[in-house]
Chains A and B, each alone.
Chain A
Amino acid sequence: MAASVSTQSLGHSLGDDQRFGLSRHVVLPGPLRLDGGGLLSPVEIGYETYGALNADGSNAILICHALTGDQHVASPHPRTGKPGWWTRLVGEGKPIDPARHFIICSNVIGSCMGSSGPATIDPSTAEPWAMRFPVITIRDMVRAQAMLLDHLGVGQLKAVVGGSMGGMQALSWAATFPERVRACVMVASTARHSAQNIAFHEVGRQAIMADPKWRSGAYYEANDPPAAGLAVARMAAHITYLSEAGLTEKFGRRLQARPDRPDGAKSFGFDADFQVESYLRHQGLSFVDRFDANSYLYITRALDYFDLAEEHGGLLANAFRGTRTRFCIVSFDTDWLYPTSESRAVVQALNAAGAAASFVELSSPYGHDAFLLEAPEMNRVIDGFLRAEP
């Protein structure tokens, strides 16, 4: 697919080895045994690497992305042209630095940026999987990443790092492959989805499925996706990424400027009178250009199924019993999607398991989104944590 593109803007090139660099794509034979009972074969993975693996293979860091994220962690997005989604943490002179680290970021399976998902082709029918794609879990995503690391010749990770859904993958990595992870960084995340988390996702899924263009997921051939439904799903979710104080500060009750009324006016109709309405509509509309509606269904499902304690006999500490992985947990005080109490539950489990854990709640006005924004304290903490390897 994109394997011929080889523009290395960060770090060092590894000669002509086509496995490394930006915008990579690989088709692994699999099969990948899924938590749902099925097998996925082949396993397509879109990914990027930055920097070079050192001689003893000790500097590999895997970055895990969030629900609608992708592998372009520190390179421009191919469709939107926007900078990588975590350039504040990853890049030259940053805590995760291609000059020192071999950085890997892959698109999760179920997504739509080059990895196997509902929009990729099912080899048995030569058509897109659509809703015949198997339901996947966070652990399935992690197992697919492990297959990628095997392909790349990376045995053990110096660290696995992620925020939000990426944090869940990081935690799942430490629990599933403890021998392959020396350190785990979980930011603004949780060990399980709460009823409220599931409820918001169900609103999003129902918005997509209520769009007549969804056609039970078979919209690829007509090339006419359920954009309206997906946009509404994104709008609802986007509210959960912000804080009330942040929204009030940014928009308050301010009205949209109009040609005749620069200070805005109520339309006594249903236009986007309020600035916050216009903002949300924009968020929804710009999202549908870069994301597949069926992928949104599958990934939100994987998130809702996530409960690391359930995978370990109901006791979260069991997930980390005997681990030698070091953990760094960071939460933000205005994040109500994955509030600090969820991080604390993880920390308590780590303490009970005797694991080496660091945890700090940082202050930010930006809610859940804080982990993607300028956060010097987060960088200071993660930098110190990563450098402290014994």
Chain B
Amino acid sequence: MTETLRPDLAIIARHVARGARVLDIGCGDGQLMAALRDEAGVDARGLEIDPANVASAVARGLAVVQGDADVDLAGYPDKGFDYAILSQTLQTARAPDQVLDHLLRIGQRAFVSFPNFAHWRVRLSLLWGGRMPVTPLLPEQWYDTPNIHHVTIDDFRAFVRQRRITVEGSWFLSHGRPTSAAAANFRAEHAVFLLRR
């Protein structure tokens, strides 16, 4: 089942310890949660903003709560989970820095994945096209994109350094395949970080 997961989710699924307690923030219809539950005996909880996704997740037996990462994380207790996961949601948050603070407060560790806005295809699109990039990973137009806080891998690295957040692992993906950390800010479409405070 892990094979059918989106590549960034597959990386997260491979690195979550068996039997762990996990909060998946922006869990969609619960694909990752279901994989973690079924294959690693994980006690997974989810938070998702879209009601249709929540209904699908609950209908597959997952404990998912409809809510907004920007407002509803405050109610979760400190260190209530082994991992807090934020996949492809950071760039949609109104206050990504505060969401990350909550992540590191709620989870012993946090997984964060996001699309890299400094990928060469994005750069080319802006440099030569002079238009906001529309790529397979960022398919929306400027006016209807939910991605309101674009971030690059180097931005994120600088951010965690400045906040003294420990990076326990990082993975970079190009076309769904691993790519090296060295040129990641140019070559990777996707990044996954494992963090702790």
* Stretch of B50-58, B113-121, B140-148, B175-183 contacting A (4+ beta carbons < 8 Å): B50-58
Instruction: Mark contacts of B167-179 with chain A using CB atoms, 8 A cut-off: 1 yes-contact digit, 0 otherwise.
Output: 0000000000000
Query: Do the beta carbons of B80 and A388 come within 8 Å of each other?
Result: no
Closest to B80 in A: A354
Query: Do the beta carbons of A357 and B59 come within 8 Å of each other?
Result: no
Q: Does B13 contact A (CB under 8 A)?
A: no
A-chain residues with CB within 8 Å of residue B136 when the two chains form the complex:
none
Query: Do the beta carbons of A360 and B60 come within 8 Å of each other?
Result: no
Q: Does A387 contact B (CB under 8 A)?
A: yes
Q: Does B77 contact A (CB under 8 A)?
A: yes
Q: Does B31 contact A (CB under 8 A)?
A: no
Q: Does A361 contact B (CB under 8 A)?
A: yes
A133 to B34, CA, bound (A): 51
Measured CB to CB, the closest approach of chain A to B56, in angstroms, equals 8
Measured CB to CB, the closest approach of chain A to B74, in angstroms, equals 9
A-chain residues with CB within 8 Å of residue B63 when the two chains form the complex:
326, 356-358
Query: Which one of B64, B75, B76, B80 contacts A358 once the chains associate, using CB atoms below 8 Å?
Result: B64
| Contact A363 to B76, CB < 8 A, known contacts A358-B64, A383-B59 | no
A-B contact number at CB 8 A: 64
Measured CB to CB, the closest approach of chain A to B84, in angstroms, equals 13
Closest to A381 in B: B58
Q: Does A287 contact B (CB under 8 A)?
A: no
A363 to B62, CA, bound (A): 20
Q: Does A171 contact B (CB under 8 A)?
A: no
Query: Which one of A348, A356, A377, A384 contacts B45 once the chains associate, using CB atoms below 8 Å?
Result: A356
B-chain residues with CB within 8 Å of residue A220 when the two chains form the complex:
none
Q: Is the interface of B mostly helix, strand, loop or mixed?
A: mixed
Query: Do the beta carbons of A358 and B51 come within 8 Å of each other?
Result: no
Q: Does B92 contact A (CB under 8 A)?
A: no
Instruction: Mark contacts of A316-347 with chain B using CB atoms, 8 A cut-off: 1 yes-contact digit, 0 otherwise.
Output: 00000000001010000000000000001001
Query: Do the beta carbons of A384 and B59 come within 8 Å of each other?
Result: yes
B-chain residues with CB within 8 Å of residue A383 when the two chains form the complex:
59
Query: Which one of A326, A351, A356, A360 contacts B66 once the chains associate, using CB atoms below 8 Å?
Result: A360
A351 to B64, CA, bound (A): 11
Instruction: Mark contacts of B90-128 with chain A using CB atoms, 8 A cut-off: 1 yes-contact digit, 0 otherwise.
Output: 000000000000000000000000000000000000000
Q: Does B16 contact A (CB under 8 A)?
A: no
Closest to A380 in B: B59
Q: Does A385 contact B (CB under 8 A)?
A: yes
Measured CB to CB, the closest approach of chain A to B9, in angstroms, equals 21
A344 to B64, CA, bound (A): 13
Closest to A378 in B: B55
B-chain residues with CB within 8 Å of residue A351 when the two chains form the complex:
65, 75-77
| Contact A388 to B61, CB < 8 A, known contacts A348-B75, A351-B76, A356-B45 | yes
Query: Do the beta carbons of A352 and B58 come within 8 Å of each other?
Result: no
Query: Do the beta carbons of B62 and A388 come within 8 Å of each other?
Result: yes
B-chain residues with CB within 8 Å of residue A352 when the two chains form the complex:
75-77
| Contact A381 to B59, CB < 8 A, known contacts A360-B51, A360-B54 | yes
Q: Does A237 contact B (CB under 8 A)?
A: no
Closest to A355 in B: B63
A-chain residues with CB within 8 Å of residue B59 when the two chains form the complex:
380-381, 383-385
Q: Does A362 contact B (CB under 8 A)?
A: yes
Query: Do the beta carbons of B60 and A384 come within 8 Å of each other?
Result: yes
A270 to B58, CA, bound (A): 51
A-chain residues with CB within 8 Å of residue B58 when the two chains form the complex:
328, 358, 360, 381, 384-385
B-chain residues with CB within 8 Å of residue A326 when the two chains form the complex:
63
B-chain residues with CB within 8 Å of residue A357 when the two chains form the complex:
45, 63, 65
Measured CB to CB, the closest approach of chain A to B43, in angstroms, equals 8
Measured CB to CB, the closest approach of chain B to A172, in angstroms, equals 21
Measured CB to CB, the closest approach of chain A to B143, in angstroms, equals 25
A218 to B59, CA, bound (A): 50
Q: Does A305 contact B (CB under 8 A)?
A: no
14 A-B pairs with CB atoms under 8 Å apart are A344-B67, A347-B67, A348-B72, A351-B75, A352-B76, A357-B63, A357-B65, A359-B54, A359-B64, A360-B64, A384-B60, A385-B59, A385-B61, A388-B61
Which residues in B have some Cβ–Cβ distance to A below 8 Å? 43, 45, 51, 54-55, 57-67, 72, 75-77, 80
Inter-chain pairs besides A380-B59, A381-B58, 4 sampled, C-beta below 8 Å: A328-B58, A344-B72, A358-B62, A359-B66
The 8 closest A-B pairs by CB, nearest first: A388-B61, A384-B59, A348-B75, A356-B63, A360-B54, A358-B58, A359-B65, A380-B59
